[in-house]
Structure 1
Amino acid sequence: MGNVLFLAHRMPYPPNKGDKVRSYHLLRHLQQHHRVFLGTFIDTHDDDEHLPALKALCPDLHVERIHPKVSKFLSLTGLIRREALTIAFYRSAGMRRWVQRTQAKHPLQASLVFTSAMAQYAEPLLPQTPMVVDFVDVDSCKWRDYAPAHRWPVSWIYQREADQLLRAEKAIASISTPSFFVTPVETALFQSLAPESAASIKTLSNGVDAEYFSRALDRQSPFSADEKAIVFVGAMDYWPNVDGVKWFARNVMPLVLARWPTACFHIVGRNPSKDVLALASDSVRISGTVPDVRPYLQFASAVVVPLRVARGVQNKILEAMAMAQPVITVPACAEAIGASAEEGLLQASEPSAFLASLNMLFESADAAMALGRAARAHVGWHFRWADHMKGLDACFPHTTGARA
C-alpha cells in the first residue's frame, strides 16, 4: 500500500454536515488502497467524544485543537503579511512538525489537501510528494458574495479576504496535480479565474448515502398530527443558512400562514445563532441539535432550502431527496443538483413562488409522494459516492491490496 497524507481543516467525522460528509468519503475511499496519514483540526469540544471512533477508523491520526477566539485574533497577522485570514487562521507549528515527522518516518507518495487552508502543510513536500487539492467550492467568490450583505468594516474585511484568497487559490492550483471542485459550474468559474491552470482543474461531485437516508416504518414523527411541517435542516451557525431561514421566516411564512394556519417552520440544526433563536414563535420552531435528522425529513410536509448565498452541491438537498422528499430551493442550488421539477426539485426565488410550490405539495399528497419517489430515484442514479470517488484513483500511485 502507498502512504498518502490527507489534510483536512475540520475533523472528517462524524459525517453529519456538509464538508465533513465529503471529507469522510474521501478518507474512506483512499483507505481502500492506501495507508492514510490524517492531519486535522478540531474547534469544538463536541468533537472530543468522536475522537476514539476516528482513531479506530484511521489509526495514523494527528489532531490539533483550535481555540476559535484565539485563532481569530492570531489570523489578524494576515493583514500584516498580506495573506488570506483563512490561511493564517489554520496556521499551526504543531501540524507542520507532524507532517515533517511523518514524511521522515513514512515516506509519502502523495498528499490530498482538503480546502486551500491546508495546502501550506503539503507545499513543502513538493516536488517529491505530489499534491492533490480538493477546493470543493471557489471560496474566494463566497467571501465576495458575503461582502454586500454586511456593513463596513465587515464588508471591507470580506472583500479583502476574497481578493487575498483568490490569489492563494490560483497559486495553489498552479502546483497541484490536479485540483477538484464539486460542480461543473464551480470548475468552469475557477478555470475562468485561473486560465493558466485550466487543464488541471477538474470536477469531483458529492454523493449521498441512500441506504442511510431512506424511509423506515419504525420511526416516530416529531410533529403534531394536524400541522403542515415545513422543514429546513442545516448547521445554524453558518451564515448562509442563518440568512436563508431568516428570509424565509420573515417573507414566506406570513403568506403561508394566511393560506395554511396550521403550518409551522421547523429549523433543525446545531448551534442556532442569536438571530435564529430570535425567530422562535408559535409558527417557527427551533430544534437545535437532534440525534437524528431523518424523522424530520421523513415526516415533513415540505422541505425547503431557501439559501440566497450558496455555492456547490448542497448535501442537505441530496439527503432530503434520498428520503423521498421533494425539495423547494433557489435556482442556484437546483442547478448544482441537475434535477427538474418532475424529478422532485422545485425552484423558487420569490416568496410567491415558494408559496405556490408549497400549495401544490400541501393540496395533493399523491403528487408530493410521486415527486418524492422521483427525487430519490434521481439522487440514487446520479449521486453515488462510489461512482464519483473513482475520479481520485488516477491521482495517486497505483497499489494493490486494501486496508481493512
Structure 2
Amino acid sequence: MKNDNKTLRILFLSQRFLFPQDTGGKIRTGKILEQLNKRYRITVISNVESPKDDPYLPEMRRLCEKFVPVPWKEIPRYTWRWYWDIFKKSFSIYPVPMLNDYSPELEQAVLDELKNGSYDLAICDFMQSTLNFRRVTGIPKILFQHNVEATISLRHMKRSRDPLFKIFWWLQFRKMFYHEKRESARFDAVIAVSDLDKQRFEEWYGLKNVHVIPTGVDTDFYAPNPDVQVKKQIVFVGAMDWLPNHDAMLFFLEEVFPLILREEPDVKFVIVGRNPAPKLKKLVQNYPHVELTGWVEDTRPYVNESAVFVVPIRIGGGTRMKIFEAMSMEKAIVSTRVGAEGLPLEDRRHIYLADAPEDFARDVITLLRDADERTRIGKQARQYVYENFRWEKVADVFASICEMVVNQKNQSRIKSEAMAETG
C-alpha cells in the first residue's frame, strides 16, 4: 500500500538544534528538512539551550510542521569541567560522542511523541544520537549517517603522536566500531552521504540496507559576487570545535603556510569558524598574516574576497559541504584527498588535490599567481554543482528512500497479518 505523500507523518530527531546553520551537518539536515516539509508532515525534536537558541526558534517553521524543544545545557568547551567530563566518559562502554548526545529527557521526548502521535516513519540524525532511539519500536526507522564515525576515530589514532592520545583514540575506535555496527543494524535503512561511506558500512558492518544521497548546495545563496575585489588571501571555513578542522589548521599553519610565506610573504590567511581551541589561538599569535575570526553570521564575504579556498583535512568521514559551497561561489580550491573524499570531483578540473605539505603549498602559490587559472577552474566548478547538486535534487532522493522504507514495512506487515489469518 503506497502512502499518500500529503499524509505521511515523519518524526525527526536532531539532537543538536539546527540553528544557526554553522556546521556542515546542520546545513545538510536543515536544507533537506526544508524540502521535505513541503511534501510531508514533519515533527522535529531537538535540544534547545536558552537563551542562546531562543532568537532562532521562529526559523524552525521553515523546516517542520511541529517542533518539540527539549531544555538542555551544554558544558562550555575547553574548560576544566569539559575535560573532566570527557575523562569520566572515556571509561564507559560507549564512545564519548554517543554519551555527549544522549539525555534521558531527549529519549523520553521521542517516546512520548511517538506514543501520542500517529507517525509513519522515525528518522535519527547522526549515529551519536542513537542511544535516544534505543527504545523506539513498532515503526519504520531510518538512520541518517553523515559520516562513518569509526573512520574519524581511526584516523585520529593514526595521526596522534602522544602515546596516551593514541591509546585513547584506539579505545574510542574500538567502541565506536562495535556500537556503530550494532546500532546501525537496528534501523530499517541507513542513509549515507557518499558511495565510499556506503561501501564502508557494507564491508565493515555487513549492512544490506544502505542508501546514498548526494551532497547538496544552495547555488542561489552561495553565488559569486563579481563586485567584490579579490585580495591576495587564502581562506578556510569550518567549525573549529570539530577536531578534524582543528587538526587541519594545525597542519596547515605548522607545515604548509610557512612554505607559502617563503614565496608570497605578503599573503594573508583567514580562518573562519566558531570556538577555536586555545592551542590554535596561541599558534595564530606567531603569524601576523593570519586572522582568526571566530563565529560569524555569514561566511560568504570572507570567501568572496579570497583568491584561494583551502581544505587541508587529514581526519574525517562523510563529505565536506564547504567544498561545494566554495565551488558554487566560483572559488579555486586546494584540498587534501581526505578533505574531498566521497565527492565526485576531478583533480585539476573541479579542484586541486594535494596531500604532502610541499605539494599543497605549490598548488596554493600557483593559484595565487594565476588569475586566469582561478577563473577557469572556478567557473567549471560552479557549472558542475549547479547542474548536479542542488538541494531539490538531493531531497528527491531522500524522499524516495523514506517512501520506499515505509511501503516495504507496510507490505511486510500486511503479509504477516495475512499469514496469521490463514494459519
TM-score between both structures, scaled by the size of structure 1: 0.88
The residue that corresponds to 2:10 in the other structure is 4
RMSD between aligned residues: 2.5
Q: 1:56 deviation in Å? A: 6.4
Q: Partners of 1:339 and 1:28 in 2: how far apart?
A: 26
Which of 234, 256, 260 is equivalent to 1:256? 260
Which of 99, 121, 129 is equivalent to 1:118? 129
Give 5+ residue unaligned stretches, structure 2. Answer: 1-6, 407-423
1:285-330 deviation per Cα after TM superposition (whole angstroms, max 9, x unaligned): 2122223211211121111111111222111111111100010001
Q: Partners of 1:81 and 1:258 in 2: how far apart?
A: 48
1:11-59 deviation per Cα after TM superposition (whole angstroms, max 9, x unaligned): 1233332110111023223312222121112468643321232256435
The residue that corresponds to 1:134 in the other structure is 144
Which of 191, 194, 197 is equivalent to 2:205? 194
What letter matches 1:258 in structure 2? R
1:198-222 deviation per Cα after TM superposition (whole angstroms, max 9, x unaligned): x20121222010110002356x55x
The residue that corresponds to 1:247 in the other structure is 251
Q: Partners of 2:358 and 2:92 in 1: how far apart?
A: 48
1:257-308 deviation per Cα after TM superposition (whole angstroms, max 9, x unaligned): 2211211111111222212212133221212222321121112111111111
Q: Partners of 2:156 and 2:55 in 1: how far apart?
A: 33
Partner SS state of residue 13, structure 1: coil
Partner SS state of residue 6, structure 1: strand
What letter matches 1:294 in structure 2? R
CA distance 1:231–1:45, shift in 2 (3 Å): farther
Once the two structures are superposed, the pairs formed by residues 384-395 of structure 1 within 5 Å of their partners are 384-395=390-401
CA distance 1:207–1:81, shift in 2 (3 Å): same
Partner SS state of residue 172, structure 2: helix
Contact 1:38 1:61 (8 Å CA) reproduced: yes
Contact 1:240 1:307 (8 Å CA) reproduced: yes
Contact 1:146 1:309 (8 Å CA) reproduced: yes
Partner SS state of residue 188, structure 2: coil
The residue that corresponds to 2:353 in the other structure is 347
Q: 1:146 deviation in Å? A: 1.1
1:174-232 deviation per Cα after TM superposition (whole angstroms, max 9, x unaligned): 2212101111111101211112x2x20121222010110002356x55x8xxx520111
1:39-90 deviation per Cα after TM superposition (whole angstroms, max 9, x unaligned): 1124686433212322564352222313226788677776666223322222
CA distance 1:155–1:365, shift in 2 (3 Å): same
What letter matches 2:367 in structure 1? L
Which segment drifts farther, 53-62 or 315-324? Answer: 53-62
Give 5+ residue unaligned stretches, structure 1. Answer: 400-404
Percent identity, aligned pairs only, is 22
Q: Partners of 2:133 and 2:120 in 1: how far apart?
A: 12
Which segment drifts farther, 207-216 or 5-14? Answer: 5-14
How many pairs are equivalent? Answer: 391
Partner SS state of residue 267, structure 1: strand
CA distance 1:134–1:178, shift in 2 (3 Å): same
Does residue 277 in structure 1 map to residue 277 in structure 2? no
CA distance 1:79–1:335, shift in 2 (3 Å): closer
The residue that corresponds to 1:151 in the other structure is 162
The residue that corresponds to 2:39 in the other structure is 33
Partner SS state of residue 339, structure 1: coil
What letter matches 2:329 in structure 1? M
